[in-house]
A = this chain, B = another copy of it.
Amino acid sequence: MSLTLAATLEALLFLSPEPLDADALAAAAEVEIDEVRAALDTLVTRYEQEDRGLVLRELAGGWTLSSHPEAEEAARNLFARPRTPALTPAQAETLAIIAYLQPVSRPEIARIRGVNAESAAATLLERGLVEESGRSQFGAVLYRTTDLFLRLFGLRSLEELPPISAFDPSPELEEELRERLLRAGEARVAG
C-alpha cells in the first residue's frame, strides 16, 4: 500500500468505535510497535499544529479521535442534543461509588447513599457507563465501570482518578461532626 503509516493509522482510528491500543494498531498495519508509537507521535503533533477540527488523545487504554471542543457549538446546532447529557446528583453519586469500589453490589451502593440506587443504576447501565460484573456471594448483581466511562470522562485509566482520600472531609469538619453526634444533645439538655 502506498499510504504512509501515519495515514493508515488515521484511517483505522477514524473507523474504530473504540479506542485502539498501539499493539492492535501494529498488528493491523503489520509493523513493529515502535513504528506505530512514532507515527502516533507524528499524528498528535500534526493535529495540534495544523488547522484541524479533530483531536487525537490516549483514553481508556487506547488511542481515539474526537471532535475539537471548539467545534462544539456548531456540533450542537447540527446534532441537537449533546451526546453526553449531564448526570443527575443521584446518578453521579452512584457512579462515583461504583468507580471507587468496583465491583460493588446495589445493596452496598444503597447502604452508602442511604437510599435506593435502582433507577440511577439502571440509567448508568443504559448509558453504558457501568456494566454488570458477575454476582456477589449473596446473588446480588455486581457493577463495574466501562471503557466508555473512561472515554467520556477523559481518563486514560482508573488510576487517573484522584484517590478517594482526596475527598475526605477536613479534620475540623470531622471533629465537628463527631462532637455533634455525641454532645449536641447534652448541650440541649443543659440549656
Q: A residues near B, CB below 8 A? A: 1-4, 6-12, 14-16, 20, 24-25, 27-30, 51-54, 65, 67-68, 70-71, 73-75, 77-79, 88-90, 114-116, 118-120, 122, 125-126, 128, 131-135, 139, 141, 188, 191
Contact = CB atoms under 8 A, between A and B. Distances in A.
Contacts of A1: 70-71, 73-74
Nearest to A43: B53
Contacts of A74: 1, 8, 11-12, 28-30
Given A10-B54, A141-B115, A15 B79 contact: yes
A32 to B, nearest CB: 14
A12 B77 CA distance: 10
A65 to B, nearest CB: 7
| Copies of this chain assembled into the complex | 2
A15 to B, nearest CB: 5
A191 B138 CA distance: 9
A65 B14 contact: yes
A16 B78 contact: yes
A7 B53 contact: yes
Contacts of A120: 132
Given A1-B73, A3-B70, A14-B65, A89 B135 contact: yes
Nearest to A50: B50
B77 A30 contact: yes
Contact of A70 (B2, B12, B118, B122): B2
In order of increasing CB-CB distance, the 10 nearest A-B pairs are A11-B53, A10-B53, A11-B71, A28-B78, A7-B53, A11-B67, A90-B132, A28-B77, A89-B134, A3-B70
Contact of A131 (B7, B88, B128): B88
A124 B4 CA distance: 36
